[in-house]
Amino acid sequence: MIKQTLAVQSHVQTDVQALPRTNRESNLQWLPRAYESFALDNPAQWSFVVLAGGKDVASFRLRVAQSHLRGDMLPSYWSECGLLQLDQGDFAHARFYHLPLFQPATASYAPTRNGLIDLPLKQLPSQKELPNLALLAIPVPQEKILESLAAYQKARVSYDAVENILPWLAYVWGAGNAANPLMQHTGFPSAMMLNQLYSAQGFDLAPGVNANLSAPETFWSGVKHWQAYYSNTQENGLLPKARFVINHVYDIDES
């Protein structure tokens, strides 16, 4: 198990809520409903992170890898994460930024873009492929995050994100003696990107965890358990929010 700092328990009111699907609702239908449920007074003060969990073999290995970040050692709900770009809540033109392990063959040479993939949200896999979904509202203006993102994409000389992809891909494929990258303090590529973007704006997405251990699970833990920390550190008084739906867990019987 990976050592972490425990969150201080408090009675800070949180806005982290389950939002079940309705009538086999698709991911592209659920996300706008989750966004609307935040009822944000000023959307310009916020940016948005998506956590997603698949159930194929690669997702299984990624979810189990993150069990070392959980006190109960159960697989994580999540196998991917990324930045959601929204313009005034317009999901028709929303975009999703991440560093996929399986880089698209049609994309340009990965090192020239530091591994970053930008795709229309409508290309997000369906709820059959990604049954678990969470939308995190982070109180950092999207405009500032996108500015950092533009610099990140061109900053391979100072931070080589492509290097981070390779050990995770080797682990997922079971290549040679590849070990769980988290045990080598190699964070999940998309999560490392997000952590760096938000850290540049003074916001910690994963309090209590070494930055090199960034993963979807650490962001999930942060928004669930570290609200007291955020209430003491957020100068604007705004706290992270989350909506989630979990339709897939692994059947583990301890009886």
Q: Is residue 113 part of a domain?
A: yes
- The count of other CB atoms within 10 Å of the CB of residue 247 is 15
Is 250 part of a structural domain of the chain?
no
Domain membership of residue 216 as a residue range: 15-245
Task: Report pLDDT digits (tens) over 2-16.
Answer: 655 656 555 567 899
Domain presence at residue 10: no
- Do the domain assignments include residue 253? no
pLDDT tens sequence across 164-190: 899 999 999 999 999 999 999 999 999
Tokens representing 82 are 């990324």
Query: Are the CB atoms for 66 and 76 separated by under 8 Å?
Result: yes
Tokens, residue 180: 């769980």
Predicted model pTM = 0.94
Computed over every residue of the chain, the mean pLDDT equals: 92
Is 72 within the bounds of a domain? yes
**Six-digit token string for 87:** 């313009």
Q: How many domains does the chain have?
A: 1
Position 33 scores a pLDDT of 97
Whether residue 89 is contained in a domain is answered as: yes
Backbone angles phi, psi at 11, to 5 degrees: -105, 25
CB-based contact 139:156 (threshold 8 Å): no
**C-beta of residue 240 within 8 angstroms of C-beta of residue 137:** yes
Alpha carbon distance 57, 100 (integer Å): 15
CATH code where residue 27 lies: 3.90.1720
What does the pLDDT read at residue 132?
98
C-alpha to C-alpha distances, 26 to 54, 73, 74, 243, nearest whole angstrom:
14, 30, 26, 15
Please indicate, yes or no, if residue 8 is contained in any of the structural domains: no
In a domain, 55, yes or no: yes
Residue range 71-119, pLDDT digits in tens: 899 999 999 999 999 998 899 999 999 999 999 888 888 888 889 999 9
Note the pLDDT tens digit of each residue in 184-197: 999 999 999 999 99
Distance between CA atoms of residues 180 and 67, nearest Å: 11
